[in-house]
């Protein structure tokens, strides 16, 4: 890739080693390139040049802006791609994973892996970018999601009808029922409600993942959402003898949010906190202004989450393995909460220690000032 000095070039052995390395890298089907510390391309393999449909020599020495220009209309989000590369090219520590969509004669999806390159003495040489083709995997995942969405939608109507029939039977519509029959009906009713919650959660998540979740944004106060959620879930907390406490500084700046969806976020976090709190425990909800917006914090007095599971707590269907044996719910509540917060351009995270409870926080950007 780099020009050789014909008079004072490297020893023949070193040249041989370089040629072998070049042959290996050019044989790889995974596109790759690297920036030097001056943020110019000093390495690329044949697969990367072929992907762009360019002569390899054209890429040598190009900076980020020039590289993005060469990639042209193939990039689905050129501005976002350029911003990420410029940020990473100047970072000597961060390892990054991102998704990149690129159009050739077909639309391709790549997983971009990026990490710093260091020499044996620890000095920074630059940054490497690898592009793994995940187009087929994404197509399979999309097909699976569409199937789950369709199946869930088809299941919701009969399940709602079954629940309605059970409600009528338990309400005495068909006459009195003996205790043994009532107990069976209650079990069936409880299972039916759980299935409907699961179906609704799957449909919500499918809409979000497909980009079809339409938010009805309006100026609102996050404290109002917290208070509505507390009223909604109080009977559940009372049934488990868990106390709910709300702490909010007034007045707080407004946010742009969808009331129903933010109520869903807070309710999901509260339900999770209540479920894992012991009898006589307390769940505290704090709302406050922070530099980037408005923060809602839900703190419980439960058994806590093992350190190795905190980062996975928002994964679909993830169940905490640890001191608590409590189960129930759909396993999607926290996943949906994270997705809805992200849809509001916010961020959400968890903090926990075994034996010291858990804390779930999310931040929504403050609404712009009028005028």
Separation CA 50–CA 146 (nearest Å)? 33
Query: Domain 138-209, what architecture?
Result: Orthogonal Bundle (1.10)
pLDDT of residue 361: 93
Q: What is the pLDDT, as a whole number, of residue 54?
A: 87
Could you tell me the pLDDT band of residue 227, with boundaries at 50, 70 and 90?
very high
Residue 4: what pLDDT? 37
The predicted structure's pLDDT at residue 24: 78
Q: Is the pLDDT of residue 175 over 90?
A: no
Cis peptide before 251 (omega within 30 of 0): yes
CATH no. of 12-133: 3.30.450.20
pLDDT at 159: 84
Q: At residue 109, does pLDDT exceed 60? A: yes
- Please state, in angstroms and rounded to a whole number, the distance separating the CA atoms of residues 251 and 249: 6
CA angle (351, 357, 363) in 5-degree steps: 35
Q: Where are the domains of the chain?
A: 12-133, 138-209, 218-365
pLDDT class of 243 with cuts at 50, 70, 90: very high
Percent of all residues in the chain with a pLDDT value above 70, rounded to a whole number: 91
Q: Is the pLDDT of residue 230 over 90?
A: yes
How many DSSP H helices and E strands does the chain contain? 10, 12
Name the E strands within the chain. 32-36, 41-44, 96-103, 107-118, 124-133, 218-220, 243-248, 255-257, 282-290, 293-299, 347-352, 358-365
pLDDT of residue 213: 76
Among the residues of 101-254, which ranges form H helices?
135-170, 179-209, 222-239
**Sequence-separated contacts (24+) of 141-148 with Cβ below 8 Å:** 145/206, 145/209, 145/210, 146/206, 146/210, 148/202, 148/206
CATH 3.30.565.10 holds for 218-365: yes
Q: What's the pLDDT score for residue 17? A: 61
Contact 128, 30 (CB under 8 A): no
68/358 Cα distance (integer angstroms): 44
What pLDDT is recorded for position 220? 92
pLDDT in tens, 3-40: 333 444 445 555 566 677 777 777 888 999 999 888 89
The residue among 147 and 263 whose pLDDT is bigger is 263
């Amino acid at each position: 890739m780099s020009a050789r000095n014909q008079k004072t070039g490297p020893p023949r052995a070193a040249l041989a080693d370089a040629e072998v390395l070049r042959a290996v890298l050019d044989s790889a089907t995974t596109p790759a390139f690297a920036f030097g510390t001056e943020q110019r391309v000093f390495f690329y393999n044949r697969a990367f040049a072929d992907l762009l449909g360019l002569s390899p020599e054209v890429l040598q020495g190009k900076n980020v802006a020039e590289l993005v220009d060469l990639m042209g209309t193939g990039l689905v989000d050129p501005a976002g791609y350029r911003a990420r590369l410029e940020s990473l090219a100047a970072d000597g520590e961060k390892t990054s994973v991102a998704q990149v969509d690129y159009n050739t004669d077909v639309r391709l999806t790549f997983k971009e892996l990026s990490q710093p390159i260091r020499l044996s003495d620890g000095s920074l040489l630059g940054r490497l970018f690898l592009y793994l083709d995940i187009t087929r995997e994404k197509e399979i995942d999309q097909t699976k999601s569409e199937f789950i969405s369709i199946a869930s939608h088809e299941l919701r109507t009969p399940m709602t009808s079954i629940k309605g029939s059970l409600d009528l039977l338990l309400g005495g519509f068909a006459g009195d029922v003996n205790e043994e029959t009532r107990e069976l009906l209650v079990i069936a009713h409880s299972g039916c409600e759980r299935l409907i919650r699961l179906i609704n959660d799957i449909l919500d998540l499918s809409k979000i993942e497909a980009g079809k979740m339409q938010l009805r944004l309006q100026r609102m106060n996050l404290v109002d959402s917290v208070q509505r959620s507390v009223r909604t879930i109080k009977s559940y907390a009372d049934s488990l003898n868990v106390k709910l406490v709300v702490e909010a500084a007034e007045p707080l700046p407004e946010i742009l949010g969808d009331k129903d969806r933010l109520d869903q976020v807070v309710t999901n976090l509260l339900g999770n906190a209540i479920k894992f709190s012991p009898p006589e425990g307390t769940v505290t909800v704090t709302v406050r202004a922070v530099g980037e917006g408005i923060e809602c914090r839900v703190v419980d007095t439960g058994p806590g989450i093992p350190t190795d599971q905190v980062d996975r707590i928002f994964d679909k269907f993830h169940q905490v393995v640890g001191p608590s044996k409590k189960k129930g719910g759909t396993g999607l509540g926290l996943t949906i909460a994270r997705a809805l917060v992200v849809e509001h351009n916010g961020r959400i995270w968890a903090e926990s220690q075994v034996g010291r409870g858990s804390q779930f926080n999310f931040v929504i950007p403050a609404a712009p000032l009028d005028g």
